[in-house]
């Protein structure tokens, strides 16, 4: 700003100095009238000119001095020119102070040359006292504006940096708290900066997710320990009795031990299955599948299992093309069908239907089995949840089948719903968006 201002001001001063010289030249036309020099006017013009840094010398035709600023206004010219020199040196120590002179001819009324006027001033731009005052005031203003702006910028920077660094410090403290295993804490900090808001939300979500995982891990450990203990106690009891010679290792006893071992291995298989689904739920191998054919082949495979309990499976479907991970989705249908067979009494009925409704592909698996009590319905999709452990004792499940079902259906962008009434039966309905690819 300062540089621009000085440049513009120099141009302005140069122009106004040139204008002064032009005025003087114009006025000097009328200083010889009626055969003599008008000394009064010359004096006035000379005084006025030197106050603006312009010296004037007038000689007649014979080169005799008529009037000179340096003679008649010696004191004023010395002080003015010295003042200019001082001013300019204070701005630029290399200022050369060269003088420039113009020669103008003076005429009488008949246009005859009567003498010469010499106008002189410093060659390079020069400032008078009032120019210097103006320049100094402007400099002061610029400095004040600069200082105020700088202070403002520093203040704004501090405010902005604080508004960013404060929450970041809080988030980093929260991260340390989380690192120490305190997942229940929440970062309660409001910020207007959207990135900071997102960061706070993310750290809170992270804490929630870790808290959920921690609870799950604890529950998983307890559940697995519990599930493993029952068959292991039974096997150990049998084996202890046989080793102590209390029981004979008869075929029936060995078969019973073998059944418990099978239960254990089934349990481990299901756990592995659950872990695999969790790990791969975001890696679907989507392909175009004819839903009718897929369901048909699953029904065929489980028909014999249903017949063991004299259960009739009814199946109706239209040709519907779906985009699904065939292998994973087959597991969904198998789990639901196996449950329906498991929880339906002898001579029961299972109806499977696939149909389109409101832009959704619906798959309904309905049985007239034992049903699910109302207050249990909300929990059946949770891991290791079984309605009543005693009623499921012989069904071999560990309560992960529906967890797997929900996880796979959700990964396909769909959802699953249950209608169930105790002793009347249950209906599981899968809804898949029709446009999934």
Instruction: Report the nearest approach of ligand ADP to the CB of residue 338 (Å).
Output: 8
Binding mask 329-358 for ligand ADP (x = CB under 6 A): ------x---xx--x---------------
Q: Which stretch binds ligand ADP (CB under 6 A): 183-191, 299-307, 317-325, 396-404?
A: 396-404
Which is closer to ligand ADP, CB of 176 or CB of 424?
424
CA atoms within 13 A on the CB side of 62: 1
Which of 339, 347, 274 is CA-nearest to residue 312? 347
- State which of positions 407-426 bind ligand ADP (CB under 6 A): 426
The site for ligand ADP, by CB under 6 A, has a size of 22
Which is closer to ligand ADP, CB of 119 or CB of 402?
402
Please name the residue that has the structure tokens 């481990």: 268
Which is closer to ligand ADP, CB of 17 or CB of 426?
426
Sequence-ordered strand ranges (E) for 69-222: 99-107, 113-122
Angle in degrees, CA 44, 46, 52, rounded to 5: 110
Asked if 422 and 371 touch (Cβ cutoff 8 Å), the reply is: yes
Instruction: Report the nearest approach of ligand ADP to the CB of residue 256 (Å).
Output: 22
Which of 271, 398, 409, 432: binder of ligand ADP (CB under 6 A)?
A: 398
Please name the residue that has the structure tokens 């319905």: 377
Task: Rule CB under 6 A: say whether 406 interacts with ligand ADP.
Answer: no
Cα distances (angstroms) measured from residue 106 to each of 27, 58, 63, 114, 360? 11, 9, 13, 6, 108
Which is closer to ligand ADP, CB of 5 or CB of 385?
385
**Burial class of residue 206 in the structure, from the number of CB atoms within 10 Å of its CB (0-12 exposed, 13-18 middle, 19+ buried):** middle
Give the single-character DSSP code of 36.
E
3-state helix, strand, coil in the chain (%, to 5): 55, 20, 25
Task: Rule CB under 6 A: say whether 274 interacts with ligand ADP.
Answer: no
Which of 114, 400, 411, 430: binder of ligand ADP (CB under 6 A)?
A: 400
Which is closer to ligand ADP, CB of 80 or CB of 403?
403
Name the phi and psi angles at 416, rounded to 5: -130, 140
Instruction: Report the nearest approach of ligand ADP to the CB of residue 388 (Å).
Output: 7
- State which of positions 353-392 bind ligand ADP (CB under 6 A): 367, 369-372, 380, 385-387, 392
Residue whose CB is nearest to ligand ADP in the complex, by number: 397
All residues at 6 or more sequence positions from 179 whose CB lies less than 8 Å from its CB, including other chains: none
Which of 399, 406, 409, 414: binder of ligand ADP (CB under 6 A)?
A: 399
Which residues form the interface with ligand ADP (CB under 6 A)?
335, 339-340, 343, 367, 369-372, 380, 385-387, 392, 397-403, 426
């Amino acid at each position: 700003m300062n540089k621009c201002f000085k440049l513009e001001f120099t141009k302005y001063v140069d122009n106004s100095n040139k204008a002064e010289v032009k005025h003087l030249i114009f006025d000097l036309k009328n200083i010889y009238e009626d055969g003599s020099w008008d000394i009064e006017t010359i004096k006035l013009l000379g005084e006025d000119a030197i106050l603006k840094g312009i010296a004037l010398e007038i000689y007649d035709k014979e080169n005799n001095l008529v009037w000179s600023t340096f003679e008649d206004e010696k004191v004023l010219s010395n002080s003015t020119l010295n003042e200019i020199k001082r001013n300019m040196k204070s701005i630029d120590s290399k200022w050369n102070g060269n003088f420039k002179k113009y020669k103008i001819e003076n005429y009488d009324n008949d246009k005859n040359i009567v003498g010469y006027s010499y106008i002189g001033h410093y060659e390079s731009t020069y400032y008078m006292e009032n120019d210097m005052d103006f320049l100094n005031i402007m400099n002061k203003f610029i400095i004040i504006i600069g200082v105020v702006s700088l202070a403002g910028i520093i203040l704004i920077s501090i405010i902005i940096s604080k508004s960013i660094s404060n929450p970041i410090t809080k988030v980093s403290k929260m991260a340390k708290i989380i690192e120490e295993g305190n997942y229940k804490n929440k970062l309660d900090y409001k910020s207007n900066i959207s990135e900071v808001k997102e960061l706070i939300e993310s750290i809170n979500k992270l804490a929630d997710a870790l808290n959920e995982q921690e609870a799950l891990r604890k529950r998983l450990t307890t559940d697995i320990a519990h599930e493993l203990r029952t068959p292991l106690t039974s096997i150990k009891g049998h084996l202890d009795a046989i080793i102590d010679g209390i029981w004979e290792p008869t075929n029936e006893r060995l078969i019973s031990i073998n059944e418990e071992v099978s239960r254990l291995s089934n349990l481990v298989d299901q756990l592995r299955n659950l872990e695999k689904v969790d790990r791969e739920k975001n890696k679907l191998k989507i392909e175009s599948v004819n839903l009718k054919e897929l369901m048909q082949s699953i029904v065929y495979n489980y028909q014999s299992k249903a017949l063991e309990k004299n259960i009739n499976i009814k199946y109706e479907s239209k040709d519907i093309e779906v985009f699904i991970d065939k292998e994973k989705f087959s597991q969904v249908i198998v789990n639901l069908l196996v449950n329906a067979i498991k929880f339906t009494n002898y001579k029961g009925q299972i109806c499977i239907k696939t149909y389109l409704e409101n832009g959704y592909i619906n798959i309904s698996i309905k049985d007239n089995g034992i049903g699910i009590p109302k207050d249990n319905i909300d929990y059946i999709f949770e891991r290791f949840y079984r309605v009543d452990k005693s009623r499921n004792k012989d069904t071999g499940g560990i309560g992960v089948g529906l967890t797997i079902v929900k996880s796979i259906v959700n990964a396909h962008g769909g959802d699953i719903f249950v209608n169930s009434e105790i002793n009347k039966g249950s209906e599981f309905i899968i809804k898949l968006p029709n446009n999934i690819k």
